[in-house]
Amino acid sequence: MVLFPAFLKLQGRPLLIVGGGAIAEQKLDGMIEAEALITLVAPQITPAIREIARAGSIQWIAREFRRSDLNRTFLVIAATGNPRVNEEIFREADRRNILCNAVDEPERCHFYYGSVVRRGDLQIAISTNGKSPALAQRLRKEFETLIDGTYAEWLEWLGRVRTLYINRRVQREQRVRALHHLASRPVFERYRQREVSHHG
């Protein structure tokens, strides 16, 4: 089966995490950054998750999962460590057309997590279709050394210049040529040099 790659807009969408252990904790950051409306259901949670709940970034419901927890949910992460509970979550989510990821249980996933390199708005996500998470991780580390933090600022600049071209209605052919040139390595290297001489 070929997986369809996508970058989801989760801002304001209700998401559910079931489980409050180390694994749930790992999954939280990305969802908070994406500004989702997160509900976490678990009888027990880690101290770090407790802090996040106290800060108001998520809503914690201190009890075991109930099917009605899926009401109005867009996507659910099953991270209870209990295959029976994860199966119940997956089956109910599947029935309701809600996307489910049961951590490390491919047969209970509608989507997989990828290995991700993030530099501001630039994201590189790697999937091996579950064949080798270790390879995904190794490639992620290689990209991390290849793509440094300068890319985040440079991308901001590229975005602003592109908006100018679009707003000024520069003829399409000319615009596309210019934007490819601006995104080229030589222009990036010059941008980086300028940054070094400004800050160094």
Ligand X SMILES: NC(=O)c1ccc[n+]([C@@H]2O[C@H](COP(=O)([O-])OP(=O)(O)OC[C@H]3O[C@@H](n4cnc5c(N)ncnc54)[C@H](O)[C@@H]3O)[C@@H](O)[C@H]2O)c1
Q: Which residues bind ligand X (CB under 6 A)?
A: 18-24, 41-45, 64-65, 79-82, 85, 103-104
Q: Which residue, 129 or 193, is less far from ligand PQ2 as judged by CB?
A: 129
Per-residue CA distances from 150 to 140, 154, 164, 178 (Å): 17, 6, 22, 21
Q: Which does 20 bind (CB under 5 to 8 A by kind): ligand PQ2, ligand X, none?
A: ligand X
Q: Which residue, 134 or 166, is less far from ligand PQ2 as judged by CB?
A: 134
Closest approach of Cβ 112 to ligand PQ2, in Å? 4
3-class secondary structure for the chain? CCCCCCCCCCCCCEEEEECCCHHHHHHHHHHHHCCCEEEEECCCCCHHHHHHHHCCCEEEECCCCCHHHHCCCCEEEECCCCHHHHHHHHHHHHHCCCEEEECCCHHHECCCCCEEEEECCEEEEECCCCCCHHHHHHHHHHHHHHCCCHHHHHHHHHHHHHHHHHHCCCCHHHHHHHHHHHCCHHHHHHHHHHHHHHHC
Q: Which does 155 bind (CB under 5 to 8 A by kind): ligand X, ligand PQ2, none?
A: none
Per-residue CA distances from 34 to 8, 11, 175 (Å): 9, 6, 31
Q: Which residue is nearest to ligand PQ2 (CB)?
A: 115
Closest approach of Cβ 142 to ligand X, in Å? 23
Q: Which residue, 107 or 173, is less far from ligand PQ2 as judged by CB?
A: 107
Closest approach of Cβ 190 to ligand PQ2, in Å? 31
Binding site for ligand PQ2 (CB under 6 A): 101, 103-104, 106, 109, 112-115, 127-130, 132-134, 136-137, 140
Q: Which residue, 134 or 196, is less far from ligand PQ2 as judged by CB?
A: 134
Q: Which residue, 32 or 146, is less far from ligand X as judged by CB?
A: 32
Place of tokens 């304001």: 12
Q: Which does 115 bind (CB under 5 to 8 A by kind): ligand PQ2, ligand X, none?
A: ligand PQ2
Q: Which does 106 bind (CB under 5 to 8 A by kind): ligand PQ2, ligand X, none?
A: ligand PQ2
